[in-house]
Amino acid sequence: MTTYKVVSSSPTFGKITSEPIIYLQQNDCEVIILKDDEINDREIFADSLRDADAFVVGIEKVDEQLLANARKLKVIAKHGIGIDNIDLELAESKGVAVKNVPNASTNAVADYTIGLLISSARHIPQTVEEVKKGEWHKKPGFGFSGKTLGVIGTGRIGQAVIQRANGFSMNVIAYDKFPNLESAKTLGFTYHELEEIYRQSDYIAVHTDLNPETQHLLDLKAFKKMKPNVIIVNTARGGIINEEDLLTALNENLIAGAALDVFEHEPEFNKELMKHERFTASSHTAAYTYDSLAFMGMETAKNVIHVLTN
């Protein structure tokens, strides 16, 4: 007989490996994985949480409507890092703990960020498409050695990106509202105000949280302060970049290129932005490696059990 009911809306929880599900079951949990149609219908979604003790969530919005009938709920466990989709004040008011896995995908996202930087700088996606069509063109790209990388946000992922950039002999500058001077000394980068990041950077990598202060942090006003050869990569949160302004910046040659793995309204896209030849897009997949998802799943399951049994 099971003691706890765990409901998951995360599309990847327990999919890469069944170990997190088995772990929960071994700890007296009934695990229910919601289907897409159950998640897309908010009434059905909310009703599925009526008797839940724990809720494993992906990127779905967790608000008053969703938690209205979740009277037994003790923990919301994010299958990932960012918790900006969860109403934290609401959870606190209901006595529901919120847990995430902050170090789940550090290396995966850092690797992917460098991959997007290289892809954009060397026109790799465009060249691949041309060759597949039977076309044979050579486009000069940009190198890394001696160039300046501006990192916005120096948490775990930002620091991991800086470590990798050091391997390319890049000059790294960074901005963070709460500078980590010890890490700056260890990794050999310097902190600057955003204005200097915009003015000096040949590449910009975004790794900050999404909050009211960072919403549309990179807008047309910011793009106008950047070098015309700058390439911007965002693997953090979509709302940090104003996508309409980004399209304008590309069309007016204010910047050389951009690559986004995250968007403000996923999975809706700006169709004109997608068509731009100097823009690269991916489907919020930076964290998706077998290694990171397996680790993330087990840590999420452990977070659930820790709250339920303490």
Strands (E), the chain: 4-8, 29-33, 54-57, 75-78, 97-99, 148-152, 171-175, 190-191, 203-206, 231-234, 257-260, 279-281
* Cα–Cα distances in angstroms (integers) from residue 89 to residues 94, 95, 183, in the given order: 9, 10, 32
Position of tokens 């709302």? 239
Distance of CA 244 to the CA centre of its chain: 20
Measured distance CA(179)–CA(237) in Å, rounded: 20
Half-sphere exposure of 217 (CA within 13 A, CB side): 27
Catalytic residues: 237, 266, 284
